[in-house]
Structure formats: structure tokens, C-alpha cells
Amino acid sequence: MVPHESWAGYHPSMYELFEHTADLGLRVRATDLNTLFAEAAACLFSAVVEDIGSVEPRVAVTVELSGTDREFLLFDWLRDLLLKHAEDHVVFGKFEVQVRDDGLTGTAWGEPFDAARHMLAHEVKAITYHELKVVRDGDEWLAEVIVDI
């Protein structure tokens, strides 16, 4: 287990990358679902960019999703952000999410990828459904997602 380095705005212990033989796992803990989903996105982009703190919040993207399955909602939220990153060459560093019983509204702030200031760490091919988890763990929420590298 490798705790991720601290970066501006996020508590270092809230998310980490965990081991998976060929790929990478994202593990996030939070006291509420809104923070859990925001931290999961931060964890994803900490795998994409070497230093997520180098990303400035210059543009905002809003994602609206409907659905009642929390795991699929988390999957779709991360999938949409990854697609925007891949298609439009944007990197994100700040996230806010409102999770409802019937869907979510999420906003991601970031900027166009700039090779002079950002270093890409991994090409995350996709979010996978394998062992996808959003569960209560004592007083906290726990999410686990494996991404394909």
C-alpha cells in the first residue's frame, strides 16, 4: 500500500493508490458521499498527472448523471472525467460533487494540458468494473476502483 503524497487542498490520508498486478487501484475514504466522490476523482488524476498540485483551476466542467446504483454512479463520474481528459487534453485538479439518491451533479476544475508545466504519469486507459466498491465501513464510506494502465 502506497499512501499518496499530500497536495494542496486535500488531506493526504483520504486517498491512496493500491496494488494490482498489471494496473492500479484507487482507494478512498470519506465521511460523506459527496467528499468520497470528489476524492475519488482527485485520486484518479493523481495517477494521471505526476503533481496534481500543478493543475490550476482555469476551466470548469459539469457532469450530470442519473442512476440509483452508487457503484455505477462513481464509475460513470470517473469515466466521464477520463473521457474529457482524453478527448480534450484537459487535466483536472479540483472537484465538487453532490450525490443524490437518483444521480449526481459534479464539477471538475482544471486547465488544458501544458507540457511545460504538467508531467503525465500514466495513460489511464479506462475505469474498470472489476471489484468496484462503494460501501459503508464503520463511520466512513469506502470506495475502491481499479483502473487499466
Partner 1 sequence: MAKPEFAGTLEKIGCNCWRIPKSFKAGMRVDGHIFASDKLMETIRKDQAPDQVANVATLPGIQKASLAMPDIHWGYGFCIGGVCATDPEEGGVISPGGVGYDINCGVRLVKTNLFLDDVKKHIRELVKALFYTIPSGAGRAGRYKFNPVETRRLMGEGPRFVLDRGLGIEQDLVHTESNGRIPDGDPHEVSDHAVKRGADQCGTLGSGNHFLEVQVVDAVVDADVAKAFGLELNQICVMIHSGSRGLGYQVCDDALSVFRNCPEKYKFELPDRQLACAPVGSPEGRKYIAAMRAAANYGFCNRQLLMHQAREVFAEVFGRSWQDLGMEQLYDVAHNIAKLEEHDIDGVKKKVWVHRKGATRAFPAGHPDVPEQFRSVGQPVIIPGDMGRASWVLVGSAGSMEKTFGSTCHGAGRAMSRTAAKLDGAGRKIEKELEARGVIAMATSRSGLAEEQPKAYKNVDDVVDTVHEADLSRKVARMRPIGVIKG
Among 8, 59, 60, 83, binds partner 1 (CB under 8 A): 83
Pick the closer one to partner 1 by CB: 100 or 125: 125
| C-alpha to C-alpha distance for 29 and 70, rounded to whole angstroms | 15
Among 103, 113, 140, 142, binds partner 1 (CB under 8 A): 113
| C-alpha to C-alpha distance for 37 and 97, rounded to whole angstroms | 6
Q: Which residues contact 57 (CB under 8 A, 6 or more apart)?
A: 93, 94, 109, 110, 111
| 59 is an interface residue for partner 1 by CB under 8 A | no
Q: Give the per-residue contact string, 9-48, with partner 1 (x = CB under 8 A; - = no).
A: --------xxxxxxxxx-x--------------------x
Helix residue ranges, H only, 53-133: 70-88
The residues pairing with 96 across neighbouring beta strands, listed in sequence order, are 107
| C-alpha to C-alpha distance for 142 and 28, rounded to whole angstroms | 6
Pick the closer one to partner 1 by CB: 61 or 132: 132
Residues that bind partner 1 (CB under 8 A): 1-2, 17-25, 27, 48, 50, 72, 76, 79, 83, 86-87, 89, 113, 119-123, 125-132, 144, 146, 148-149
